[in-house]
Structure 1
Amino acid sequence: MAGVMDSVNQRTQLVGQNRLELLLFRLAGNQLYGINVFKVKEVLQCPRLTAMPKLHPVVRGVAHIRGGTLPILDLNRATGGPGLDNLDTAFVIITEYNYKVQGFLVRSVERIVNMNWSEIHPPPKGTGREHYLTAVTRVDNQMVEIIDVEKVLAEVVPTNENISAGVVDADTQAEAVARRVLIVDDSSIARKQVTRCLQEVGVEIVALNDGRQALDWLKARADEGEDVSQSLLMMISDIEMPEMDGYTLTAEVRNDPRLNRLHIMLHTSLSGVFNQAMVKKVGADDFLAKFKPDDLAQRVISRLHLLREGGAGEA
């Protein structure tokens, strides 16, 4: 498995081309699952786990790996199934989300596949509001389910979603009422987190599920004669999304003269120094790692103040 992961850090050339690579794995049954390679730091056979008191039931224990202590989450249990058995043959996928490193316990790891985001689709309707899938695709005629890891982590290690006292004042809230922000994110939990945060600021929210949906919505507004750079305060977009990723969405917006003055901030749990370079390459205005309510609120407030001071055309 070490050989499979050798070139993970050299795969950033896929970003900006609406492409991704999925690491395929299995849990209790034969169903295939996938996780974006960019979020994977390492794959290894399950190390010895140490039980700790008062751990969440999904956390099977902690492991001491390369000088650090990491929680190991049982993905099968996290998504409603029984805990995985036979840990001697299980694997752990070490990942980094939102500056936090943790391991996901899986039964087996298969291989890495190179795909286009257009081949990744939203989950079928009817799977229920509280499902744990963020997307689905097919590989070799097999269905691959992509788990909403942000939802899993939010349930196991809840994130503070409240803005600190003093960040938003009454004057800012009054000013924000007349402004709309477009949020684009395929994770239901991420959309809720951002929405709650920005509702505290006072802006009106339009929330959409993926880049293709957002681009179609923006173009429809432009077709009706709306100047979205004036009617929207900004667009806050995730990077990883089915149909069309955030980098491609940004590039498409910049290539449309009716939309290209829209202020765009990319907001993602992806880690890596390449993000700042990619923000400039595709023409986004800003980048913020998920999820820090005060930082997110401050970016929106700064944008409000800039427009108040007459800098809309320069933003």
Structure 2
Amino acid sequence: MANVLSTVDQRTKLVGENRLELLLFRINSTQLFAINVFKVKEVVKLPALSAMPGSHPHISGVANIRGTSIPVIDLRGAIGFNPIPPATDANMIITEYNRSVQGFLVGKVEHIVNMTWSDILPPPKTAGRNNYLTAITRVDYQGQQQLVSIIDVEKVLSEIIHYDVRLSDGVLDEHLLSEMQGRKILIVDDSSTARRQVRETLGYLGIELIEASDGLEALHLLQKWRDEGKDIPNELLMMITDAEMPEMDGYRLTYEVRNDSAMSDLFITLNTSLSGSFNNAMVEKVGCDRFISKFQPDMLVEVVQERLKEVLAKT
């Protein structure tokens, strides 16, 4: 695993091309699981852990990595399996989500596969709302096609780390509340947890929130409105989209919108748990208007208010 992420800079070229790379790993002997390489900072053998009294039961302890203390989450236990027993072959995947760094305790780490988002599918609806998958795919592994479960890490973290969706004092412009009534925002995110957090932040402002669970679903919805003769840039105050989604990612969705004259002026905000420095460059490349790192309710409301002021200034 020492060199598993050694070419991560080259992988930035995949973004905007509706491609991704998945890090495959196991938390039991039979199933393959995955997370996006862009969320991964490092993969190491599980070091000695220090106890964290009073912590969430799925936090196995704290690892000291080059002077930095990192909480370690037992991923197997967090998604509903029995916790990983102490073992010498355990590994830790160090990740960065939503401006926080944490380690995930897993079993064997396999390898990285290059995929297209069109090969990444939503989990079956029969899986129910309580599953911990954001998508599934199939890979050629040891000469056989195997199912890979892509974990909804945002859901895992939301059950362990408290994300406060309350607004700070003074953020909400009370004078704009009446103007927000009836405005429409399209939210595009494959994580039901992420959509819920946006709803909880914006819903009580009187804004009508329309949801899509991936970029392709959102694009089809926009195209349907276009074909019905709707003025999409005026119909929607903005679209708030995640970057990573099955079938079509947020970058490709933005590209498709920008290249359709009927909707090219739609205001698009990228709302993602990927790193800010990386996404600032991608926002410029694909043509998003703003970037927000999850989950920052104050900034989300500020962006909505700024957009509303721009619209009001033109009327």
Q: Per the shorter chain, which TM-score range?
A: over 0.9
Q: Name 1:138's counterpart in structure 2.
A: 138
Cα RMSD, aligned residues only: 1.1
Does residue 1:171 correspond to 2:147, yes or no?
no
> Number of aligned pairs?
311
Q: Matched residue of 1:288: which SS?
A: strand
Alignment of 1:155-194 (within 5 A): 155-194=159-198
Q: How much does 1:296 deviate?
A: 0.4
Q: Name 1:288's counterpart in structure 2.
A: 292
Q: How much does 1:163 deviate?
A: 1.4
Q: Name 1:17's counterpart in structure 2.
A: 17
Q: How much does 1:286 deviate?
A: 1.0
The normalised TM-score by structure 2 is 0.97
Gaps in structure 2 of 5+ consecutive residues: none
Paired AA for residue 196 in structure 2: K
Does residue 1:59 correspond to 2:59, yes or no?
yes
Q: Name 2:204's counterpart in structure 1.
A: 200
Displacement over 3 Å in runs of 4+: none
Q: How much does 1:284 deviate?
A: 1.0
Q: Name 2:265's counterpart in structure 1.
A: 261
Q: How much does 1:272 deviate?
A: 5.1
Alignment of 1:1-315 (within 5 A): 1-140=1-140, 141-271=145-275, 273-310=277-314
Gaps in structure 1 of 5+ consecutive residues: none
Deviations 1:249-271 (A, max 9, x none): 00000111111010001110011
| Residues 172, 201 of structure 1: 8 Å contact kept | no
Most deviating of 198-207 and 89-98: 198-207
| Residues 98, 290 of structure 1: 8 Å contact kept | yes
Distance 1:87 1:58 in 2: 17
The normalised TM-score by structure 1 is 0.97
| Residues 276, 293 of structure 2: 8 Å contact kept | no
Sequence identity percentage: 55
| Residues 46, 87 of structure 1: 8 Å contact kept | no
Distance 2:278 2:28 in 1: 35
Distance 1:169 1:257 in 2: 33
Distance 2:174 2:42 in 1: 47
Deviations 1:18-47 (A, max 9, x none): 000000000023100011000100000000
Paired AA for residue 242 in structure 2: D
Deviations 1:167-220 (A, max 9, x none): 224432211012100000000100000111111332110011000000000000
Q: Matched residue of 2:22: which SS?
A: strand
Deviations 1:125-171 (A, max 9, x none): 11111111000000011000001000000100110111123322443
